[in-house]
Amino acid sequence: MSCGISKAGFLEQEAPRLENWLKKNQHGQMSYMENNFDKRLNPTLLVNGAKSVVSLLLNYYPSELQNQNSYKISKYAYGQDYHSVIKEKLKELLFSIQANIGEVNGRAFVDSAPVLDKAWAAKSGIGWIGKNSNLLTQQVGSFYFIAELIIDLELEYDHATTDHCGTCTACIDSCPTDAIVAPYIVDGSKCISYFTIELKDNIPSEMKGKFDDWAFGCDICQDVCPWNKFSKPHSEPLFNPNPELLSMSKKDWEEITEDTFKIIFKNSAIKRTKFEGIKRNINFLK
């Protein structure tokens, strides 16, 4: 777990970037990204009297990876859905702050409200936004969740760190769908994660053969990042996968029934695509 604190206020540098990204339709069918534009850029509109954004990272890098002869799912979805796991931890942290300091009002956010979490984490110095648009750290790479507590308490603020991507273009060169259209800019509508999770229509036929067996999400731009050589396994039991997931072969995925799907992925983020979505993805990969 890492923590950094920044002063709540308007994200001036992010405003034109977000506007440009939306204008170019790089969010595809993720229409929710168009909503609450002002709130995305200013947390004081989300929490009355907000003074501080406390950014937190929680590692999810697994100790064991899937069987190599398998359709792949993103490592973040191996265990229980991170939204509920982290929300509980954040509530405990807020209770602890209130118990030690007194009346502090705030809200916990885990990728479920209009908060630009990577921007706030970078502003608070716990990492920098890399060329693949993920938050990177020199200590543990990028396999972690980002969450925030936005509170009405003035604190000491941290400062942004420097960019350590250098001349490396591993993520750009490795993306099979060319979703990283320029350093630091990802066209979300071209990303394998978008096609396998967010897209509700059929996957475009021109993408056939480009998914490298990814059935839910994609970790390619993280797997090739040199900073992820420093990834260490997490210590959160709730993020441990059902052992059956790790041993599943392509045949197992192709023959999976809805009942088995519900057992193996009980409380998993994979349920976001529903059984029909996973079947669609696997049929596309076959």
Nearest to 246 by CA among 16, 78, 112: 78
Clarify whether 111 is annotated catalytic: yes
Name the active-site residue from 81, 111, 152, 219.
111
Read off φ and ψ for residue 178, nearest 5 degrees.
Answer: 55, 40
Buried b or exposed e, range 139-176, using 16+ CB within 10 angstroms: ebbbbbbbbbbbbbbeeebbebbeeebeebebbbeebe
Question: Residue 71's Cα: distance from chain center in Å?
Answer: 20
3-state DSSP call for residue 53? strand
State the distance between the two ends of the chain, measured CA to CA, in whole angstroms. 39
- Secondary structure (H, E, C), 169-230: CHHHHHCCCCCEEECCEECHHHCHHHHHHHCCCCCCHHHCCCCCCEEECCCHHHHCCHHHHH
Q: Residue 209: count other Cβ atoms within 10 Å of its Cβ.
A: 9
CB 30 within 8 A of CB 184: no
List of residues 6+ apart from 60 with CB closer than 8 A: 75, 76, 78, 79, 82, 143, 144, 145, 234, 236, 239
- Annotated catalytic sites, by residue? 111
